[in-house]
Amino acid sequence: MRIVMMFDFPALSERIREIVPEADILTLSPTDPLDQLGRVDVVLATPGGSQTLRRLLDHQPDVGWIHILGTGVDDYPIDLLRGRLVSCSKGATAVPIAEWVLAMMLAHAKRLPSSWASVPPEQWFMADLDTLEGKTLGIIGFGQIGQAIARRALAFDMNVICHMRTHRSSGMSGVESVASLDEMIPYADHLVLALPSTAETVGLMDTARLSRLKPGSHLINISRAALIDHDALKEQLDSGQIARASLDVVSPEPLPAGHWLYQHPSVHLSPHIAWNGPRSHERMSQAFLDNLRRWCAGESLQGAIDTCVGY
């Protein structure tokens, strides 16, 4: 079995050989020649590696299985993946992302970091702080990340509602599934985008939907920047209709110096780091290793991608 990795990760190669001792593991850089590569059975790709993967597939169209070591495949044009067996490490970083969302909601409610004192304040004991208790959290998308967020929000006695592409029960006690996205949005004090970027969801939060958010609400995006019309977002932030936007994803990345998102007083911006945690890389790698065992046994893969819809 020949496995091509689009990055150099010796420790992962050792773990692959524990499962498939006879594996021929090769590392492919964007400029490596392909003429002597031979048949490729499995490709372990990275987010943003579409050019390298396209070059490989043009040369080796019959690759058996592609696993992308990330939680989504929207970095890859769908034509490159359509009709192929593709999986990714869905849900591997759900815990740190959910913790980041809770941190952003608490920071907004408790006026952090502005409520910290570095000089004697005007008054002690009193401050205009809010609470999460009794507030409504709306989650758009209810996969593993959305569910991890919901569990933690319920522990703070929040009311949790969610919207899914195909309406069904949330399957989680205390979480109400709402069929209409436009009907759900005005109820949310905090609204989290936790759904994939596809042709159907690009521009989901446009001027019309952003204007439907509850006055003084908090928009949180841990998904993909393309879901939000950022010019429309700026208008809603400037008007105060939306009190806060906490964004871990922007476009382009890296965001250039001087961009308005860096300076806007109502934006909490982080550089696409919400997924980071002590075990994030380990869990993403483990998702591939678990699937490698399944693939060798002829079993269905976890985190399989429907290449027709893109997630």
Catalytic residues: 224, 253, 272
Name the residue among 31, 57, 44 with its Cα closest to residue 2.
44
Distances (CA, A) of 279 to 63, 96, 275, 276: 30, 9, 10, 8
Q: Are 213 and 186 in contact (CB under 8 A)?
A: yes
Name the residue among 103, 91, 184, 188 with its Cα closest to residue 146.
91
- Three-state SS sequence of the chain: CEEEECCCCHHHHHHHHHHCCCCEEEECCCCCCCCCCCCCCEEEECCCCHHHHHHHHHHCCCCCEEEECCCCCCCCCHHHHCCCCEEECCCCCHHHHHHHHHHHHHHHHCCCCCCCCCCCCCCCCCCCCCCCCCCEEEEECCCHHHHHHHHHHHHCCCEEEEECCCCCCCCCCCEEECCCHHHHHHHCCEEEECCCCCCCCCCCECHHHHCCCCCCEEEEECCCHHHECHHHHHHHHHHCCEEEEEECCCCCCCCCCCCHHHHCCCEEECCCCCCCCCCHHHHHHHHHHHHHHHHHCCCCCCCECCCCCCC
